[in-house]
Amino acid sequence: MYERSAGGVVINDDKVLILKRKNGGWVLPKGRIEKNETKRQAAQREVFEESGIKAKPSKYLGYSKYNFYANNNLIRKTVYYYLMHTCLTTNLKAQQEEGFVKACFVEYKKALELLIHNSERTMVVNAYKLRKD
């Protein structure tokens, strides 16, 4: 089975948005691409749903691929990431229904320390390089 998701590295005042799961792990906002939705649209929607932030995708950062098991089925997942900047609101609200307990903006180095996935750390590094272009 294949899954496609999209998400974002949201930067506001030189800080990056990260989410804390119930299990304590910190991640970037991301989620499944819905039918008839572009990767860019999915990234924008997922960031809003998971954090309450309205952010606009500006540049494509790349993708990560990984496999995992769910209900004894192998899932092959691809996640597409975008550099995003906040729009009007920066009122954070973690989506508890998806298992998030906190959403916050943290300094670049702190984000790299807290994120649990190497691929997400790579996306943050890429975002900070590209934002200066």
117 burial type by CB count under 10 A (0-12 exposed, 13-18 middle, 19+ buried): middle
**What stretches of the chain show up as alpha helix (H) in DSSP?**
39-51, 108-114, 118-130
Statement: the pTM of the whole predicted model exceeds 0.85: yes
Q: What is the pLDDT of residues 16-53, one digit of tens each?
A: 999 999 998 999 999 999 999 999 999 999 999 999 99
Confidence check: pLDDT of 125 > 90: yes
Provide the greatest CA pair distance for the chain. 44
Task: Please list, in sequence order, all residues whose beta carbon lies within 8 angstroms of the beta carbon of residue 31, skipping any fewer than 6 positions away.
Answer: 5, 6, 7, 42, 45, 46, 49, 50, 98
Q: What is the pLDDT of residues 79-104, one digit of tens each?
A: 999 999 886 666 788 888 888 999 99
Percent of the chain's residues with pLDDT above 90: 74
Beta strands 30-32 and 55-70: pairing type?
unpaired
Q: What confidence score (pLDDT) does residue 93 get?
A: 84
Percent of the chain's residues with pLDDT above 70: 95
Q: What mean pLDDT value characterizes the chain?
A: 92
Confidence check: pLDDT of 133 > 60: no
Burial code (b: 16+ CB inside 10 Å, e: under 16) for 15-51 equals ebbbbbeeeeebbbbbbebeeeeebbebbbebbbebb
